[in-house]
């Protein structure tokens, strides 16, 4: 089990920055304005060889009324009670403030190790604030800079000394939980729903809209199954999002949808399925996540049966790509219908994870194409041949067919809807990839062709090209050409005189060349060695 540490202090002293530094990720939202963090957030981190469970908390405010700041203070006190070691963080540039002294008096009675951190100590001007920190009565402060990562070695040594007498219980590694993201517009009742599910006021709630800013994860166990509920910030229409902090919250919500497995879309029963709800549902489908609709504040509905039937018909009509998704109507205020939510989530998760046998798929393909044959494009009919499921979560299928690029989109939708009805995959997003059955995977550009290799320049060339190159290389002057050929190592060819045939010289066994006679020209030698005169009957004497 890791050492559990709570990072506490007044607002805007760098608690979330230190939290992100120790976690190694930018999980918590960070901004220059105070009071960005409101809920307490848990995450696993480490420093050196020490495993940590970190708790990021809201800035401490000295109020005790019914305001939002008072509820934030209660979350901070709950984190202090849950932690093994407390990191009391103050701003070294501002020095010790009155709120620092009030908070120090508040935690002085806590019988747990307390480490005083003087954050933002990267400059010379902050040394005065480090000296003032001694007056808080927690011993020597540890100067650090969470933004630049300075002082982490000193923090590690302080944590080693503080945890010497802390008993850390060893527990088995839990099974991987099902990640469930709860999304919706602001003030739809997402945090209240999670608190009702787990039976604890774990998340900050209230009548104010937009209380939740970070995506807060809560680990829970339901009937032996590990569950991780993720509370997200409310998402308004993009045109209304102007502030930087709200843009960061929306990006954090989209990230939670991306890494979730089941998404619960919470809607107000009075204006369910407006434009923003439809866009959120479409985003979930494009990300390939299982979806469950929730109509909240159902205790205020006067005609629940008729309204529920109307909302289900509206969902199937406006979101046909998610037709048949689970729909739950509930009230987080009094708990009505909340017990039906987790069975619906587990059913959607099971459908999302289904794997269909290849034999059953091909039997279905044969019947589906007989009932509705593929259309003919440009006078040629498309022939589906084979289908298989290559992955689940979401179910993804590959269909092999001739002329796959020409298959119309409406026929693909027909096949997807037929799969959904035949194998009871209602509500879950599906993927169908159509590939050509005649494609050669080893051809250039194919799936198994591999990178193209350089084979080098050609070793042979046409004879005419080589001859032309040689003629251009040597000079046209006879003497100069012989000199160039001698340097290149090319021996000149010697032609026999007077048209002496090579065959005649070889047959006579001699290579002698007879000089010119009186009549001019070359004289040929017969096989017997006699000189031919060219006259009939032999030469005259």
Is residue 49 annotated as involved in ligand binding?
no
CB 207 within 8 A of CB 227: no
Separation between Cα atoms, residue 307 and residue 271, nearest integer Å: 12
Is residue 232 annotated as involved in ligand binding?
yes
Is residue 385 annotated as involved in ligand binding?
no
Is residue 119 annotated as involved in ligand binding?
yes
Please, what is the angle between helix 409-422 and helix 358-371, to 10°? 120
Is residue 297 annotated as involved in ligand binding?
yes
Separation between Cα atoms, residue 157 and residue 163, nearest integer Å: 10
Is residue 60 annotated as involved in ligand binding?
yes
CA distances from 32 to 72, 145, 445 (A): 19, 16, 51
Is residue 509 annotated as involved in ligand binding?
no
Separation between Cα atoms, residue 155 and residue 50, nearest integer Å: 12
Separation between Cα atoms, residue 83 and residue 56, nearest integer Å: 11
Helix (H) or strand (E) holding 75: helix 68-82
Is residue 185 annotated as involved in ligand binding?
yes
Is residue 97 annotated as involved in ligand binding?
no
Is residue 371 annotated as involved in ligand binding?
no
Strand order in the sheet with 114-119: 41-47, 50-56, 3-8, 85-91, 114-119, 142-143
Is residue 340 annotated as involved in ligand binding?
no
Is residue 364 annotated as involved in ligand binding?
no
Is residue 10 annotated as involved in ligand binding?
yes
Is residue 298 annotated as involved in ligand binding?
yes
Q: Which two tokens stand for residue 372?
A: 């509705």
Is residue 491 annotated as involved in ligand binding?
no
Separation between Cα atoms, residue 31 and residue 9, nearest integer Å: 16
Is residue 508 annotated as involved in ligand binding?
no
Is residue 349 annotated as involved in ligand binding?
no
Query: Does residue 30 sit in helix, strand or coil?
Result: coil
Is residue 11 annotated as involved in ligand binding?
yes
Is residue 13 annotated as involved in ligand binding?
yes
Return the residue matching tokens 């001007």.
Answer: 125
Is residue 191 annotated as involved in ligand binding?
yes
CB 338 within 8 A of CB 192: no
Contacts of 97 (CB under 8 A, 6+ apart): 10, 90, 91
Is residue 296 annotated as involved in ligand binding?
yes
Q: Which two tokens stand for residue 449?
A: 């062709």
Is residue 187 annotated as involved in ligand binding?
yes
Q: Which residue stretches of 237-357 are H helix? A: 244-259, 275-287, 304-318, 341-352
Query: Does residue 259 sit in helix, strand or coil?
Result: helix
Contacts of 160 (CB under 8 A, 6+ apart): 50
CA distances from 82 to 40, 281, 357, 377, 422 (A): 11, 37, 48, 67, 51
CB 292 within 8 A of CB 183: no
Please, what is the angle between helix 275-287 and helix 244-259, to 10°? 40
Is residue 489 annotated as involved in ligand binding?
no
CB 194 within 8 A of CB 210: no
Is residue 445 annotated as involved in ligand binding?
no
Length reported for the chain: 541
- List residues forming the annotated binding site for GTP: 9-16, 56-60, 119-122, 184-191, 231-235, 296-299
- List residues forming the annotated binding site: 9-16, 56-60, 119-122, 184-191, 231-235, 296-299
């Amino acid at each position: 089990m890791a050492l559990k540490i709570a990072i506490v202090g007044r607002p805007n002293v760098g608690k979330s920055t230190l939290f992100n530094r120790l976690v190694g990720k930018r999980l918590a939202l960070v901004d220059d304005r105070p009071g960005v963090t409101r809920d307490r957030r848990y995450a696993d981190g480490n420093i050196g060889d020490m495993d940590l469970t970190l708790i990021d908390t809201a800035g401490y405010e000295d109020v005790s009324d019914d305001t939002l700041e008072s509820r934030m203070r209660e979350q901070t006190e709950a984190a202090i009670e849950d932690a093994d070691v407390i990191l009391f963080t103050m701003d070294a540039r501002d020095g010790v403030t009155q709120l620092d002294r009030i908070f120090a008096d508040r935690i002085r009675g806590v019988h747990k190790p307390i480490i005083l951190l003087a954050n933002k100590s990267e400059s010379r001007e902050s040394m005065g604030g480090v000296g003032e920190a001694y007056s808080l009565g927690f011993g020597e402060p540890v100067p650090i800079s969470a933004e630049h990562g300075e002082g982490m070695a000193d923090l590690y040594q302080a944590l080693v000394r503080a945890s010497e007498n802390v008993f850390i219980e060893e527990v088995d590694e839990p099974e991987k939980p099902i990640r469930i993201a709860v999304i919706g517009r602001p003030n739809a009742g997402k945090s209240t729903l999670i608190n009702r599910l787990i039976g604890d006021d774990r998340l900050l709630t209230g009548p104010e809209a937009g209380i939740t800013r970070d995506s807060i994860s809560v680990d829970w166990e339901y009937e032996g199954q590990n569950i991780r509920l993720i509370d997200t910030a409310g998402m308004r229409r993009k045109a209304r999002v102007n502030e930087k902090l709200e843009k960061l919250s929306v990006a954090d919500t989209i990230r939670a949808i991306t890494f979730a497995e089941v998404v619960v879309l919470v809607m107000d029963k009075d204006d369910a399925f407006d434009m923003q709800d439809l866009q959120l549902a479409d985003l979930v489908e494009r990300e390939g996540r299982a979806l469950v609709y929730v109509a909240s504040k159902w205790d205020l509905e006067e005609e629940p049966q008729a309204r529920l039937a109307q909302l289900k018909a509206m969902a199937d009509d406006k979101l046909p790509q998610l037709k048949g998704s689970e729909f739950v109507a509930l009230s987080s205020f009094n708990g009505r219908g909340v017990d039906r939510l987790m069975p619906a989530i587990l059913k959607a998760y099971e459908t999302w994870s289904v794997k269909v046998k290849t034999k059953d798929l091909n039997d279905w393909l044969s019947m589906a194409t007989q009932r509705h044959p593929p259309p003919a494009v440009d006078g040629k009919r498309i022939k589906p041949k084979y289908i298989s499921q290559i992955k689940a979560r979401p179910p993804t299928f590959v269909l092999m067919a001739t002329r796959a690029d020409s298959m119309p989109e409406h026929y693909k939708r027909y096949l997807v809807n037929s799969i959904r009805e035949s194998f009871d995959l209602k509500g879950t997003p599906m993927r169908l990839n159509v590939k050509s059955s005649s494609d050669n995977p080893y051809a250039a550009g194919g799936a198994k062709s591999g990178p193209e290799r350089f084979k080098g320049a050609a070793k042979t060339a046409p004879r005419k090209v080589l001859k032309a190159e040689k003629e251009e290389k040597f000079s046209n002057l006879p003497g100069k050409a012989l000199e160039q050929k001698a340097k290149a190592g090319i021996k000149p060819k010697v032609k026999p005189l007077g048209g002496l045939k090579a065959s005649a010289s070889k047959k006579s066994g001699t290579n002698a060349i007879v000089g010119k006679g009186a009549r001019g020209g070359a004289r040929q030698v017969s096989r017997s060695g006699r000189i031919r005169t060219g006259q009939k009957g032999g030469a005259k004497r």
